Amino acid sequence: MIDFRPFYQQIATSQLSAWLETLPLQLKQWEKQTHGDYAKWAKIVDFLPHLTASHIDLKSAVKSEAETPLSAGEQQRIIHHLKQLMPWRKGPYHLYGIHVDCEWRSDFKWDRVSPHLAPLQDRTILDVGCGSGYHMWRMVGEGAKMVVGIDPTELFLCQFEAVRKLLNNDRRANLIPLGIEEMQPLAAFDTVFSMGVLYHRKSPLDHLTQLKNQLVKGGELVLETLVVDGDVNTVLVPADRYAKMKNVYFIPSVDCLINWLEKCGFQNVRCVDVETTSLEEQRKTDWLENESLIDFLDPQDHSKTIEGYPVPKRAVILANK
Protein backbone atom coordinates (compact mmCIF):
# COMPACT_ATOMS: atom_id res chain seq x y z
CA MET A 1 0.00 0.00 0.00
CA ILE A 2 1.11 3.54 -0.57
CA ASP A 3 2.74 5.08 2.46
CA PHE A 4 2.07 8.77 3.09
CA ARG A 5 4.29 9.00 6.18
CA PRO A 6 7.34 10.28 4.27
CA PHE A 7 5.13 13.11 3.00
CA TYR A 8 4.00 13.99 6.53
CA GLN A 9 7.64 14.14 7.59
CA GLN A 10 8.45 16.34 4.62
CA ILE A 11 5.73 18.89 5.35
CA ALA A 12 6.26 18.92 9.12
CA THR A 13 9.02 21.50 8.76
CA SER A 14 7.57 23.34 5.75
CA GLN A 15 5.00 26.06 5.13
CA LEU A 16 2.43 23.24 4.77
CA SER A 17 2.82 22.01 8.38
CA ALA A 18 -0.72 23.12 9.37
CA TRP A 19 -2.04 20.44 6.99
CA LEU A 20 -0.99 17.81 9.53
CA GLU A 21 -3.99 18.89 11.63
CA THR A 22 -6.39 17.21 9.17
CA LEU A 23 -4.58 15.21 6.48
CA PRO A 24 -3.47 12.05 8.33
CA LEU A 25 -6.98 11.49 9.70
CA GLN A 26 -8.57 12.15 6.28
CA LEU A 27 -6.26 9.65 4.60
CA LYS A 28 -6.99 7.07 7.29
CA GLN A 29 -10.68 7.45 6.43
CA TRP A 30 -9.87 7.32 2.71
CA GLU A 31 -7.99 4.02 3.14
CA LYS A 32 -11.17 2.41 4.48
CA GLN A 33 -13.19 3.20 1.35
CA THR A 34 -10.85 2.95 -1.62
CA HIS A 35 -11.77 1.70 -5.10
CA GLY A 36 -12.20 -2.11 -5.27
CA ASP A 37 -9.09 -2.42 -7.48
CA TYR A 38 -6.86 -0.11 -5.43
CA ALA A 39 -5.03 -2.92 -3.60
CA LYS A 40 -4.31 -4.63 -6.95
CA TRP A 41 -3.01 -1.41 -8.51
CA ALA A 42 -0.85 -0.62 -5.47
CA LYS A 43 0.67 -4.12 -5.70
CA ILE A 44 1.68 -3.44 -9.31
CA VAL A 45 3.75 -0.50 -8.06
CA ASP A 46 5.43 -2.90 -5.58
CA PHE A 47 6.17 -5.38 -8.39
CA LEU A 48 8.11 -2.78 -10.40
CA PRO A 49 11.87 -3.23 -9.99
CA HIS A 50 14.03 -0.84 -7.98
CA LEU A 51 16.27 0.63 -10.64
CA THR A 52 18.77 3.44 -10.46
CA ALA A 53 18.71 5.93 -13.30
CA SER A 54 22.00 7.55 -14.21
CA HIS A 55 20.22 10.37 -16.03
CA ILE A 56 16.83 11.97 -15.38
CA ASP A 57 15.40 14.77 -17.52
CA LEU A 58 12.39 16.64 -16.13
CA LYS A 59 13.18 19.90 -17.90
CA SER A 60 12.30 18.99 -21.49
CA ALA A 61 10.40 15.70 -20.90
CA VAL A 62 9.75 13.15 -18.14
CA LYS A 63 12.54 10.72 -18.83
CA SER A 64 14.85 8.32 -16.99
CA GLU A 65 17.81 6.38 -18.40
CA ALA A 66 20.17 3.76 -16.99
CA GLU A 67 23.92 3.70 -17.52
CA THR A 68 23.49 0.28 -19.18
CA PRO A 69 20.23 0.02 -21.18
CA LEU A 70 17.75 -2.60 -19.93
CA SER A 71 17.49 -5.84 -21.87
CA ALA A 72 14.40 -6.41 -24.03
CA GLY A 73 13.18 -8.94 -21.44
CA GLU A 74 13.55 -6.48 -18.54
CA GLN A 75 11.69 -3.84 -20.56
CA GLN A 76 8.89 -6.29 -21.39
CA ARG A 77 8.41 -7.10 -17.71
CA ILE A 78 8.02 -3.41 -16.85
CA ILE A 79 5.67 -2.86 -19.80
CA HIS A 80 3.57 -5.80 -18.61
CA HIS A 81 3.18 -4.20 -15.14
CA LEU A 82 2.53 -0.67 -16.44
CA LYS A 83 -0.11 -1.92 -18.89
CA GLN A 84 -2.09 -3.29 -15.94
CA LEU A 85 -2.52 0.35 -14.89
CA MET A 86 -4.26 1.31 -18.16
CA PRO A 87 -5.80 3.62 -19.29
CA TRP A 88 -2.80 5.94 -19.31
CA ARG A 89 -4.34 9.32 -20.09
CA LYS A 90 -1.69 11.98 -19.36
CA GLY A 91 1.93 11.78 -20.44
CA PRO A 92 4.11 10.85 -22.29
CA TYR A 93 6.69 9.17 -20.06
CA HIS A 94 10.03 7.86 -21.30
CA LEU A 95 11.24 5.39 -18.66
CA TYR A 96 14.33 3.25 -19.23
CA GLY A 97 13.72 3.16 -22.99
CA ILE A 98 9.97 2.45 -22.58
CA HIS A 99 7.70 5.02 -24.23
CA VAL A 100 4.44 5.26 -22.27
CA ASP A 101 2.51 6.91 -25.09
CA CYS A 102 -0.52 8.24 -23.23
CA GLU A 103 -3.80 9.43 -24.75
CA TRP A 104 -2.87 13.08 -24.17
CA ARG A 105 0.29 14.85 -25.23
CA SER A 106 0.38 16.73 -21.92
CA ASP A 107 3.66 18.27 -23.03
CA PHE A 108 1.66 20.31 -25.59
CA LYS A 109 -0.33 21.86 -22.71
CA TRP A 110 2.85 22.48 -20.72
CA ASP A 111 4.37 24.27 -23.73
CA ARG A 112 1.30 26.54 -23.91
CA VAL A 113 1.23 27.26 -20.17
CA SER A 114 4.83 27.37 -18.92
CA PRO A 115 6.20 30.38 -20.86
CA HIS A 116 3.68 32.66 -19.11
CA LEU A 117 4.25 31.62 -15.49
CA ALA A 118 5.98 33.45 -12.68
CA PRO A 119 9.25 31.46 -12.30
CA LEU A 120 8.59 28.18 -10.44
CA GLN A 121 12.08 28.06 -8.93
CA ASP A 122 11.86 27.41 -5.14
CA ARG A 123 8.07 27.61 -5.12
CA THR A 124 5.68 25.40 -3.17
CA ILE A 125 3.03 24.36 -5.69
CA LEU A 126 -0.40 22.75 -5.62
CA ASP A 127 -1.64 20.98 -8.77
CA VAL A 128 -5.38 20.39 -8.39
CA GLY A 129 -6.65 17.46 -10.49
CA CYS A 130 -3.10 16.43 -11.37
CA GLY A 131 -4.02 13.09 -13.02
CA SER A 132 -0.99 10.79 -13.21
CA GLY A 133 1.23 13.77 -12.37
CA TYR A 134 2.91 14.55 -15.70
CA HIS A 135 2.82 18.33 -15.16
CA MET A 136 4.04 17.95 -11.56
CA TRP A 137 7.27 16.40 -12.80
CA ARG A 138 7.69 19.25 -15.30
CA MET A 139 7.20 21.72 -12.39
CA VAL A 140 9.96 19.89 -10.49
CA GLY A 141 12.05 20.21 -13.67
CA GLU A 142 11.57 24.00 -13.43
CA GLY A 143 13.11 24.00 -9.94
CA ALA A 144 10.01 23.93 -7.70
CA LYS A 145 10.81 23.33 -4.03
CA MET A 146 7.83 21.02 -3.46
CA VAL A 147 4.90 20.02 -5.68
CA VAL A 148 1.72 18.54 -4.22
CA GLY A 149 -0.95 17.15 -6.50
CA ILE A 150 -4.44 16.32 -5.33
CA ASP A 151 -6.64 14.00 -7.32
CA PRO A 152 -9.31 11.64 -5.98
CA THR A 153 -8.87 9.01 -8.73
CA GLU A 154 -6.93 6.13 -7.16
CA LEU A 155 -5.74 4.68 -10.48
CA PHE A 156 -3.91 7.95 -11.14
CA LEU A 157 -2.31 7.79 -7.68
CA CYS A 158 -0.91 4.35 -8.57
CA GLN A 159 0.27 5.53 -12.00
CA PHE A 160 2.00 8.46 -10.29
CA GLU A 161 3.70 6.15 -7.75
CA ALA A 162 4.79 3.81 -10.57
CA VAL A 163 6.40 6.70 -12.44
CA ARG A 164 7.97 8.02 -9.24
CA LYS A 165 9.57 4.62 -8.61
CA LEU A 166 11.10 4.74 -12.09
CA LEU A 167 12.39 8.28 -11.44
CA ASN A 168 14.74 7.25 -8.62
CA ASN A 169 11.86 7.56 -6.12
CA ASP A 170 12.01 11.38 -6.33
CA ARG A 171 10.06 12.87 -3.41
CA ARG A 172 9.89 16.46 -4.61
CA ALA A 173 6.41 15.66 -5.99
CA ASN A 174 3.64 13.93 -4.05
CA LEU A 175 0.06 12.99 -4.89
CA ILE A 176 -2.66 13.10 -2.25
CA PRO A 177 -5.88 11.25 -3.18
CA LEU A 178 -8.42 13.90 -2.16
CA GLY A 179 -10.72 16.32 -3.96
CA ILE A 180 -9.99 20.04 -3.67
CA GLU A 181 -13.25 20.53 -1.75
CA GLU A 182 -11.99 18.19 0.99
CA MET A 183 -8.79 20.12 1.52
CA GLN A 184 -8.27 22.32 4.56
CA PRO A 185 -7.73 25.97 3.45
CA LEU A 186 -3.98 26.39 3.90
CA ALA A 187 -3.19 29.76 2.26
CA ALA A 188 0.31 28.31 1.86
CA PHE A 189 1.01 27.61 -1.85
CA ASP A 190 2.95 30.08 -3.98
CA THR A 191 1.34 28.77 -7.20
CA VAL A 192 -1.89 26.83 -7.59
CA PHE A 193 -2.70 25.06 -10.85
CA SER A 194 -6.21 23.93 -11.81
CA MET A 195 -6.01 22.47 -15.29
CA GLY A 196 -8.90 20.56 -16.85
CA VAL A 197 -10.96 20.56 -13.64
CA LEU A 198 -13.29 23.61 -13.58
CA TYR A 199 -15.79 22.23 -16.13
CA HIS A 200 -16.11 19.06 -14.04
CA ARG A 201 -17.21 21.05 -10.97
CA LYS A 202 -20.92 21.63 -10.33
CA SER A 203 -20.21 24.93 -8.64
CA PRO A 204 -17.46 26.78 -10.54
CA LEU A 205 -17.35 29.86 -8.29
CA ASP A 206 -16.91 27.64 -5.24
CA HIS A 207 -14.05 25.92 -7.09
CA LEU A 208 -12.35 29.28 -7.76
CA THR A 209 -12.77 30.26 -4.10
CA GLN A 210 -11.30 26.93 -2.96
CA LEU A 211 -8.27 27.56 -5.21
CA LYS A 212 -7.87 31.07 -3.76
CA ASN A 213 -8.01 29.66 -0.22
CA GLN A 214 -4.89 27.57 -0.93
CA LEU A 215 -2.78 30.50 -2.21
CA VAL A 216 -0.49 32.78 -0.24
CA LYS A 217 -1.27 36.47 -0.61
CA GLY A 218 0.07 37.56 -4.00
CA GLY A 219 0.40 33.91 -5.12
CA GLU A 220 -0.37 32.91 -8.72
CA LEU A 221 -3.38 30.95 -9.94
CA VAL A 222 -2.99 29.07 -13.23
CA LEU A 223 -6.42 28.13 -14.51
CA GLU A 224 -6.81 26.06 -17.66
CA THR A 225 -10.29 25.05 -18.75
CA LEU A 226 -12.70 24.58 -21.64
CA VAL A 227 -14.15 27.80 -23.09
CA VAL A 228 -16.67 28.76 -25.77
CA ASP A 229 -16.79 31.84 -27.99
CA GLY A 230 -19.02 34.62 -26.71
CA ASP A 231 -19.33 37.67 -24.48
CA VAL A 232 -19.24 38.16 -20.73
CA ASN A 233 -22.71 36.60 -20.41
CA THR A 234 -22.02 33.44 -22.42
CA VAL A 235 -21.85 30.07 -20.63
CA LEU A 236 -22.56 26.68 -22.19
CA VAL A 237 -24.31 24.28 -19.82
CA PRO A 238 -24.61 21.05 -21.83
CA ALA A 239 -28.06 19.47 -21.66
CA ASP A 240 -26.59 16.02 -21.20
CA ARG A 241 -23.14 14.92 -22.35
CA TYR A 242 -20.38 17.07 -23.84
CA ALA A 243 -17.93 15.20 -26.12
CA LYS A 244 -19.42 12.04 -24.57
CA MET A 245 -18.42 13.18 -21.04
CA LYS A 246 -21.23 12.91 -18.48
CA ASN A 247 -19.67 15.24 -15.92
CA VAL A 248 -19.32 18.55 -17.78
CA TYR A 249 -21.29 21.37 -16.14
CA PHE A 250 -20.13 24.90 -17.09
CA ILE A 251 -18.13 26.03 -20.14
CA PRO A 252 -17.84 29.84 -20.03
CA SER A 253 -16.45 32.32 -22.56
CA VAL A 254 -13.05 33.83 -21.69
CA ASP A 255 -14.69 37.15 -20.73
CA CYS A 256 -17.16 35.35 -18.49
CA LEU A 257 -14.35 33.41 -16.81
CA ILE A 258 -12.42 36.63 -16.19
CA ASN A 259 -15.58 38.10 -14.64
CA TRP A 260 -15.99 35.04 -12.36
CA LEU A 261 -12.37 35.32 -11.20
CA GLU A 262 -12.72 39.05 -10.48
CA LYS A 263 -15.98 38.42 -8.61
CA CYS A 264 -14.07 35.91 -6.46
CA GLY A 265 -11.55 38.63 -5.60
CA PHE A 266 -8.62 37.66 -7.85
CA GLN A 267 -6.47 40.47 -9.21
CA ASN A 268 -4.45 40.99 -12.38
CA VAL A 269 -6.64 38.46 -14.23
CA ARG A 270 -5.45 37.84 -17.80
CA CYS A 271 -5.91 35.25 -20.54
CA VAL A 272 -2.57 34.17 -22.02
CA ASP A 273 -3.59 31.42 -24.44
CA VAL A 274 -6.63 30.00 -26.26
CA GLU A 275 -6.37 26.90 -28.44
CA THR A 276 -8.68 24.32 -29.99
CA THR A 277 -7.69 20.78 -28.94
CA SER A 278 -6.13 18.99 -31.91
CA LEU A 279 -6.32 15.35 -32.92
CA GLU A 280 -2.53 15.23 -32.36
CA GLU A 281 -2.93 16.29 -28.71
CA GLN A 282 -5.66 13.79 -27.73
CA ARG A 283 -5.63 10.47 -29.56
CA LYS A 284 -5.87 6.72 -29.21
CA THR A 285 -2.67 4.84 -28.44
CA ASP A 286 -1.66 1.36 -27.30
CA TRP A 287 -1.87 2.59 -23.69
CA LEU A 288 -5.68 2.88 -23.49
CA GLU A 289 -8.54 0.71 -24.67
CA ASN A 290 -11.09 3.51 -24.59
CA GLU A 291 -12.27 5.92 -27.28
CA SER A 292 -10.52 9.27 -27.80
CA LEU A 293 -11.20 12.73 -29.30
CA ILE A 294 -11.86 11.50 -32.87
CA ASP A 295 -14.78 9.42 -31.52
CA PHE A 296 -16.20 12.44 -29.67
CA LEU A 297 -16.54 14.61 -32.80
CA ASP A 298 -19.32 14.72 -35.40
CA PRO A 299 -17.95 12.35 -38.10
CA GLN A 300 -19.34 14.65 -40.88
CA ASP A 301 -18.19 17.94 -39.33
CA HIS A 302 -15.12 18.10 -37.09
CA SER A 303 -16.07 21.63 -35.97
CA LYS A 304 -18.74 20.12 -33.72
CA THR A 305 -18.84 17.51 -30.99
CA ILE A 306 -20.98 14.44 -31.57
CA GLU A 307 -23.75 16.21 -29.59
CA GLY A 308 -23.56 19.28 -31.89
CA TYR A 309 -21.67 21.58 -29.46
CA PRO A 310 -18.56 23.63 -30.36
CA VAL A 311 -15.43 21.41 -30.30
CA PRO A 312 -13.17 21.52 -27.21
CA LYS A 313 -11.27 24.80 -27.01
CA ARG A 314 -9.17 25.56 -23.95
CA ALA A 315 -7.98 28.81 -22.37
CA VAL A 316 -5.14 29.50 -19.93
CA ILE A 317 -5.89 32.28 -17.45
CA LEU A 318 -3.48 33.68 -14.86
CA ALA A 319 -4.50 35.66 -11.78
CA ASN A 320 -3.12 36.69 -8.40
CA LYS A 321 -4.56 36.53 -4.91
Ligand X SMILES: C[S@@+](CC[C@H](N)C(=O)[O-])C[C@H]1O[C@@H](n2cnc3c(N)ncnc32)[C@H](O)[C@@H]1O
Binding site for ligand X (CB under 6 A): 90, 106, 109, 128-131, 150-153, 156, 179-181, 195-197, 200
Compute the least distance from the CB of residue 74 to ligand X, in Å.
30
Least separation in angstroms between CB 180 and ligand X:
4
- Does 314 show up as a binding residue in the annotation? yes
CB of 232 to ligand X, least distance (A): 25
For ligand X, the closer of residues 128 and 319 by Cβ is 128
In the complex with ligand X, the residue whose CB is nearer, 190 or 281, is: 281
Q: Smallest distance, Å, CB 196 to ligand X?
A: 3
Nearer to ligand X among residue 180 and residue 293 (C-beta): 180
> Is 119 annotated in some ligand binding site?
no
Q: How many Cβ atoms are within 10 Å of 279's Cβ, its own excluded?
A: 12
CB of 188 to ligand X, least distance (A): 17
69 is in an annotated binding site: no
104 assigned to a ligand binding site: yes
Instruction: Rank residues 7 and 70 by Cβ distance to ligand X and give the closer one.
Output: 7
Which is nearer to ligand X, 196 or 219 (by Cβ)? Answer: 196
240 labeled part of a ligand binding site:
no
Residue 77 among known ligand-binding residues: no
CB-nearer residue toward ligand X: 109 or 172 = 109
Pairing assessment for the beta strands 189-195 and 124-128 based on DSSP bridges: parallel
Residue 201 in contact with residue 207, Cβ under 8 Å?
A: yes
Nearest residue to ligand X by CB is 129
Please check if 90 is assigned to a binding site: yes
Nearest distance in Å: CB 308, ligand X: 22
242 among the known binding-site residues?
no
3-state secondary structure the chain: CCCCHHHHHHHHCCCCHHHHHCHHHHHHHHHCCCCCCHHHHHHHHHHCCCCCCCEEECCCCCEEECCCCCCHHHHHHHHHHHHCCCCCCEECEEECCEEECCCEEHHHHHHHHHHHCCCCCCCEEEEECCCCCHHHHHHHHCCCCEEEEECCCHHHHHHHHHHHHCCCCCCCEEEECCCHHHCCCCCCEEEEEEECCHHHCCCHHHHHHHHHHHEEEEEEEEEEEECCCCCCCCEECCCCCECCECCCCCEECHHHHHHHHHHCCCEEEEEEEEEECCCCCECCCCCCCCCCHHHHEECCEEEEECCCCECCEEEEEEEEC
Q: Which residues are annotated as a binding site for carboxy-S-adenosyl-L-methionine?
A: 90, 104, 109, 129, 151-153, 180-181, 195, 199, 314
Q: Name the binding residues.
A: 90, 104, 109, 129, 151-153, 180-181, 195, 199, 314
